[in-house]
Chain A
């Protein structure tokens, strides 16, 4: 599998005189740039882009794709990322010319089909989350978090309440939570987890106060555990005048079982690229709709899509809105995929999704529990966190075990997260995997646990079969090379 020579960059296969395009034939008079642009503004030197014929472009990217692992390549139990199957019908529908080839500023009368889809998606998401209104504008989860927090800020300020400067996040929270709070102008306060892996109610009572703007919570939390004291927590926050924010990263666990709107949450963001199968795309694009309860309605980002007797329209007349968070109306193409998925599943299907997601996670947890430390031994939801403490004592770190999994053709779990678990491995199988796949992965994990005891070097030196071995990340950071340059200045 390994080759000694480097995989060439597209720039290294470029040759002057080759082209890979077929532009329309110019059917109007040519122009001399000197005649139409001031001399200073004409590009003096062409950008050094590749010159490659079409077949060689295709071979280049095919070779790159062969060096990449996706859900379609193999099991991808990356905790908190919900790497489920990306249905192919979604891809077909998103490419319909009526969805792909329309402009966001066309007259509304010419895009009623697109607006109808968006509206109906909003309606479906309202029902699934139990919220009163949904905006599709945010482009991703973190963008949704910030949007939600800006609405909370607007709400407090509209009440003349400028002293609410703090957003509380659990110590197990995803890094975007505190980062979004900062970008929205808040300070972050951390609340501790208790011995059961849940938010410590006593600590929460200690940190709340008149300066509390909101508590951000993922439920089930990043340990895969349901925050069973959620109503008590909601009461604590609401009592001091704060708002409760739901990070929808883990919604896949609770569809048709519990809705954020019924748990006391005031704002919710969803990651349509997780629960609702918009593909992850190698890191994006995502989509991060936000749902709100009535008290926050006036602050929704504008424009707001509404339905009138004459059809669908974008309402810009929202004086209290936090403003626009993104040009146009969100990542429509991803929203089309999510809508297609929801309509493929129906209400019964979505319920089954959460049931199987939870069944699969608990099954794997029980199969693996004898071989690894399980810091929180109780029913998990859609994911669970193991600790590699036992193996660490043998000189084998969680990182090593993750790398060893690559040799079996698996993407490893999320590792060293959440931060409150030592040598953590966060495993999320999703509902779209078969029992055979889960078993084969568990067998591999068990073999690795045995190797850690009997032949630790096999694990420590992994991976053995990938196209490349472990990379020198320190060098990458110390001497950053962030682009190709023909003559390297070294």
Chain B
């Protein structure tokens, strides 16, 4: 058959079969026993031409309410942020996106250097000494942090704050199950980790305490107050941080975090229905040889030129096999490149400015909501998310908002028992004053409507 991805001609094929010394391609499959041979044809949709497929899939895509046509107030771990246009141009250079893992450094210096720069930027933002080349996402990075901590401390219990993203907590539990690690949750108090309860739960069996910063409700956890409590017990202090927020918030490394993880999605990475995003993993120097995933290090070539290589590979699965510290192989290299380009474009000044804009817009939203008589829960400092008490169905609110061209917030009742009728609202720098005002107006009108209307 002819296909634009298959260059062999009938003549080529014939010449090649002759060289091999067989009469047909079929002969090359003669080692597959008759009993397991697939007979017949796959029952799949037939091939489509390029134009026809583009048309079909663009129609399918158009069935979704995307954020070019809708203003999104949905966050909960994934955000609609400013993406410098240059990001997509860089990652569309196929020398990057069609390459494999840089195992041949002489022809992979571009990728290796880009990762080295990524490691540096993440280390800078988090205030940690070392960052790796990326993980799948923030949730699995957190789970790997738990495994690292258990291995390092030889303890078998993890405490995770209930203010950590509910789906990340689930992933932590799944990984912990494999390692027979016990997971306990630290309750909340006014929307942040209950420090008193944490103290009660801490004992000599705890390998790690996991805190999200800012937490799932957008509240800024007081890492400074939590750190001594955690370290006094001998547990590792694990922080899951939104790297954008670190433009305004003090770095976890400066509060003594042992491991800081998170997701670099806010830096130039599309929401893409939840992935691929870009986990990051940063540690203090003492944990360097236990970091999961790939690390790029600087070295020199035979003539003394600076160059970069994958290093400390003795930690990794392809060398250590069943003794490896993690099974991760593929990571999120291309998205780490995207995040690097975004962090470069934003730079020292822009990251701070963008973080502060998020705070300013969220504060404006809070004032408007309160001005409209709505109840914004939890009194602490916010980054770019707020919890609003509706006392009514969040789903119904979101249906109404959709009609106004708005993607509404996250229904906290889905995952928090005490928070039925509460919505988590995200306000990024992308939301205009006009959109925020409309959102508040609709929300206020919805809450004031008689319950019966939506019963």
Contacts and interface: CB of A to CB of B under 8 A. Distances in A.
B312 interface: yes
A107 B398 contact: yes
Q: Which of B111, B131, B314, B352 has the most chain A CB within a 10 Å cutoff? A: B111
A158 interface: no
A228 interface: yes
Contact of A473 (B124, B250, B299): B299
A97 B131 CA distance: 32
Contact of A471 (B116, B300, B357, B430): B300
Interface string B252-293: 001000000000000000111111100000000000100000
B66 interface: yes
Contact of A185 (B140, B178, B224): B178
Contacts, number: 720
Interface in A323-343: 323-334, 340, 342-343
B345 A62 contact: no
Task: Please tell me the size bucket of the interface on B.
Answer: 35 or more
A278 to B, nearest CB: 9
B66 A70 contact: no
A284 B333 contact: yes
Interface residues of A, number: 207
A323 B177 contact: yes
Given A20-B347, A51-B347, A324-B170, A366 B120 contact: no
Interface in B370-398: 381-382, 395, 398
Contacts of A64: 96, 109-111, 113-114
Contacts of B408: 107
B254 to A, nearest CB: 8
A356 B8 contact: yes
B150 to A, nearest CB: 12
B6 to A, nearest CB: 6
Given A43-B251, A284-B330, A332-B274, A92 B54 contact: yes
B341 interface: yes
15 contacts: A21-B84, A23-B350, A26-B360, A51-B347, A61-B90, A107-B398, A139-B137, A150-B177, A182-B327, A226-B31, A284-B276, A343-B47, A346-B45, A349-B1, A433-B7
Q: Which of A174, A183, A347 has the most chain B CB within a 10 Å cutoff? A: A183
Nearest to B348: A49
Contact of A327 (B63, B97, B138, B346): B138
Interface stretch (A98-106, A389-397, A448-456): A98-106
Q: Please list the 9 inter-chain residue pairs (A to B) with the smallest Cβ-Cβ separation, ordered nearest first.
A: A328-B274, A98-B61, A346-B47, A113-B63, A104-B274, A281-B334, A68-B110, A70-B98, A285-B276
B107 A69 contact: yes
B299 A285 contact: no
A183 to B, nearest CB: 5
Contact of A102 (B171, B273, B322, B429): B273
Contact of B349 (A51, A182, A279): A51
B436 interface: yes
A52 B347 contact: yes
A472 B297 CA distance: 11
Given A96-B58, A150-B177, A46 B138 contact: no
A116 B109 CA distance: 40
Given A57-B341, A463-B106, A327 B139 contact: yes
Given A24-B357, A68-B111, A282-B101, A104 B21 contact: no
Contacts of A175: 316-321, 324, 329
Contacts of B133: 283
A329 B334 contact: no
B106 A281 contact: no
A467 interface: yes
A71 interface: yes
Contacts of B420: none
Q: Which of A367, A403, A432 has the most chain B CB within a 10 Å cutoff? A: A432
